Amino acid sequence: MNNKKITSNLASYLVLTIVSLIVLFPFFWMVSTSLKTESEVFLFPPQWIPAAWEWINYIRVFTEMPFHLYFFNSMYIAVLVTAGTCFLSALAGYAFARLHFPFKNAIFLFLLSGMMIPTEVTAIPLFSWMSNLGFIDTHIPLILPPMLGSGGMFGVFLVRQFLITVPIELDEAAKMDGCSPWRTFRSIMLPIATPALATVSIFTFMNSWNEFFEPLIYLNTKELFTLPIGLSMLTTDAGVDWPLLLAASTIATVPILVVFFLAQNKFIEGIANTGLK
């Protein structure tokens, strides 16, 4: 029995190792190419490790383009969108899951149907609306609509589905102790909803950080560009400086990895502590 268990574990580790290497290979190639000279990029057979690590490519990212501005713009937009989406998702998800008010299910289904509408369908009406409000060439269209649109509704749906699985006895016990709905939400439901909010934060930050279509149609001033737009400017008719592009892409990937691993830790912690605090 022990031998079978050991064999099964080894097989599982082998499969996971192979899958991990496949998943990590594009990231390895991106980092490797970012440290090469332009002539090494197209060598065949490929040169997996650069002959001399060209760290100058990372310096060129900041000297040959306003990368720091693009990075800052994407960062603060993604942070605001993530924080706002998590806050609104927690409030609305709690209301739809635990409170009672007329037409609750009908309103929830109506809002949920908004997730089925593609972004391209609403692009022209939303652009016209933002133009009438004078928000074109600002970051406001990149912050408010994502929080209140399909991305925000996805967060509401996720939190609501998570909270309806929580025993109703917790609400009853809090009510007997004199807690108001707001105190019940803040002290009991919000900590319990940590796993759902961690998932919402991962998806929201990644979507906002990688968004290309909306900044493309709303922004005109170069200083307001986000990272996806800035990276696209490195591709021109004259060709692509691949080491420079992949060096910039490597730097742009770091915040996503940091947010993912931080939220992953919160996700695991939330599962372990659910119902115990």
> Mean of the pLDDT values across residues 41-60?
82
How many CB atoms sit inside 10 A of residue 49's CB? 8
**Would you call 240 helix, strand, or coil by DSSP?**
strand
Same domain, 15 and 109: no
Q: How many structural domains compose the chain? A: 2
Q: Which of 20, 36, 53 is the last residue of a domain?
A: 53
Section 31-48 average pLDDT? 81
Residue bearing the bigger pLDDT, 260 or 221: 221
- Do 135 and 218 lie in a common domain? yes
Which pLDDT belongs to residue 70?
93
- DSSP 8-state secondary structure symbol assigned to residue 189: I
Mean model confidence pLDDT for the chain: 84
Q: Which residue has the higher pLDDT, 177 or 80?
A: 80
SS3 helix, strand, coil % of the chain, rounded to 5? 75, 0, 20
Alpha helices in 2-149 (DSSP H): 2-34, 38-41, 56-63, 67-98, 104-113, 119-132, 140-148
Domain with 80 in it = 62-273
Distance separating alpha carbons of residues 239 and 36, to the nearest angstrom: 17
Rounded Cα distance between 162 and 270, Å, is 12
pLDDT tens sequence across 177-187: 777 878 888 88
Q: Return the pLDDT at 177.
A: 79
User: Is residue 189 domain-shared with residue 265, that is, in the same domain?
Assistant: yes
3-class secondary structure, 260: helix
Same domain, 241 and 269: yes
Beta carbons within 8 Å of 55's beta carbon, 6+ residues apart: 35
Does 181 share its domain with 269?
yes
CATH of the domain at 137: 1.10.3720.10
- Note the pLDDT of residue 267: 59
88 & 214 share domain: yes
The separation between CA 199 and the C-alpha centre of its own chain, rounded to angstroms, equals 9
Residue 111 has pLDDT above 80, yes or no: yes
Q: What is the mean pLDDT of residues 75-83?
A: 93
Q: List pLDDT tens digits, range 131-187.
A: 998 899 999 999 998 888 877 888 898 888 888 888 888 877 878 877 787 888 888
What was the pLDDT predicted at 48? 82
pLDDT band at 112 (very low <50, low <70, confident <90, very high): confident
Question: Angle between the 194-210 and 150-163 helix axes, to the nearest 10 degrees?
Answer: 170
Q: Are 143 and 43 in a shared domain? A: no
Q: Tens digit of pLDDT for each residue in 178-223?
A: 778 788 888 888 888 888 888 888 889 989 999 999 999 999 888 8
Distances, alpha carbon 81 to alpha carbons 13, 122, 148, 205, 269, in Å: 38, 19, 10, 7, 24
33 and 78, same domain (yes or no): no
Which SS3 state, helix, strand or coil, does residue 208 take? helix
CA–CA distance, 163 with 190 (Å, rounded to integer): 9
Same structural domain, 82 and 137 = yes
Return the SS3 of 14: helix
Q: What is the mean pLDDT of residues 21-29?
A: 88
- Give CA–CA dist 261/255, Å, rounded: 10
Q: How far apart are CA 33 and CA 176, in angstroms?
A: 63
74 lies in the same domain as 201: yes
pLDDT value, residue 81: 94
Give the percent of the chain with pLDDT over 70.
94
pLDDT at 269 exceeding the cut of 70: no
Long-range contacts of 251-258 (CB under 8 A, 24+ apart): 251/58, 251/61, 251/67, 251/71, 252/71, 252/74, 252/209, 252/227, 253/27, 253/30, 255/75, 255/78, 255/209, 256/205, 256/206, 256/209, 256/210
- pTM for the whole thing? 0.83
Looking at the fold, whether 116 and 251 belong to one and the same domain comes out as yes
Pair 104, 142 in one domain: yes
